[in-house]
Amino acid sequence: MRKIILSIVALMVFSVELFAEVKTLKIAKQYDIGYLPLFVLDEHKIFEKNAKKAGLGDVKIEWFTFSGGAATNDALLSGNIDLNTNGIPPFLILWDKSKGKIKAIAAYDRSQYLLNTVNPNIKTIRDFTDKDKIALPSIKVSIHALLLQIAAAKEFGESNYDKLDHLTVGLKHPDALISLTSGKSEVTAHFSSEPFSTAELEHKNIHTVLDSDDILGKGFSTSVISTTEKFYNANQKLIAVFLESLVEANEWVNTHSARESAELYLKVANSSEKVELIEKILSRRADIKYTVKPTDISLFSDFLYKIGTIKSKPTQKELFFEEVFKDKYK
């Protein structure tokens, strides 16, 4: 009898622990306008509301802030987060290393990235010299680093795709902004995301050398949310609710004014930028689009495969779990 009671107690403890694992969804986030839908999700508690409605109980989100894709990848691999949010290249590298055991559940934005410089002599990427330093979030693995490599391959030939890599330095976007605008740093250029790129261009001595549309054209997804196969298989209903909640957050952004979105972004990000600056960026609807549907990710995976960074050449569908391809998300 005592053994039976102990077994029941052990089973109850195990069940509570198992249930507790899905009571908190741990998600990575970073600093830029691309994360606005996630900020809306947080501010309006959309996921919590929908989880309760779906019968999942009081599930909450715990947010973890990181400086770049390499750091979020490490957090996902170590189990410190459940959902990883980052640019396409870090995700593709992780997908390849995990042999497809880590996939994306959704895309979440299409943003434009700008390569800005304080050096008046730089008109094209051919004008960079060894005296210049280009700041970007993560050397070689961030989407900014990959865009620079693709631009170099087009300008100098495919075998010279890494011609500018020795000029790059890893800096968080806020730190790179300060370095570029202070005039007291070795950094002469910054491959940046919004709102930092527009904030830099407020300075008369800073101009844009090229942008991501110049390199690859418009329309490609720039960021995804990924997770492990193990977590996805154990929490498919939770993932479905999260995806529906993200769509709802996107709809909020797309149906509210740029001013309202700017105010929410600044509040949740606890950012010191002027609301007029964020409003200006969000008013350019053609430059930023929020959607869960993935688009043209093969532009990146094909290039990474060609230069040997990843060993497999995936189709776009191979990179995602099946939920996002359901008709309701088209």
pLDDT of 168-180, one tens digit each? 999 989 899 999 9
Q: Does residue 11 or residue 270 have the better pLDDT?
A: 270
Q: How far apart are CA 198 and CA 45, in angstroms?
A: 29
For 52-95, what is each residue's pLDDT tens digit? 999 999 999 999 987 667 788 888 988 999 999 988 998 999 99
Q: Is the pLDDT of residue 4 over 50?
A: no
Which two three-digit tokens encode residue 313?
A: 């050449």
H-only helix segments in 256-320: 258-269, 275-282, 298-306
Return the pLDDT at 62.
93
- Taking CB atoms within 8 Å and a gap of at least 24, the contacts of 278-281 are 278/33, 278/195, 280/198, 281/33, 281/194, 281/195, 281/198
What string of DSSP letters covers 168-197? EEE--HHHHHHHHHHS-SS--EEEE-TTHH
For 255-293, what is each residue's pLDDT tens digit? 999 999 999 999 998 888 899 999 999 988 667 888 999
Return the pLDDT at 87.
86
For 93-107, what is each residue's pLDDT tens digit? 999 999 999 999 999
Q: Is the pLDDT of residue 1 over 60?
A: no
Return the pLDDT at 184.
84
Give the whole-number percent of the chain exceeding pLDDT 90: 70
The DSSP output letter for 132 is -
Q: Does residue 138 or residue 186 have the better pLDDT?
A: 186
Return the pLDDT at 266.
93
Q: How far apart are CA 232 and CA 84, in angstroms?
A: 12
Q: Is the pLDDT of residue 12 over 50?
A: no
Return the pLDDT at 22.
58
Between the alpha carbon of residue 146 and those of residues 251, 290, 300, 301, the distances in Å are 30, 22, 8, 11
| Residue corresponding to tokens 């990146």 | 300
Q: How far apart are CA 248 and CA 37, in angstroms?
A: 9
Q: What is the pTM of this model?
A: 0.84
Q: Does residue 247 or residue 9 have the better pLDDT?
A: 247
For 109-166, what is each residue's pLDDT tens digit? 888 899 999 999 999 999 999 999 999 988 888 899 999 999 999 999 999 999 999 9
With 0-12 / 13-18 / 19 or more C-beta atoms within 10 angstroms meaning exposed / middle / buried, residue 45 is middle
Instruction: Report all structural domains of the chain as residue ranges with CATH numbers, in order of start.
Output: 2-110+222-270+288-329 (3.40.190.10), 114-216 (3.40.190.10)
Return the pLDDT at 325.
87
Q: How far apart are CA 225 and CA 102, in angstroms?
A: 11
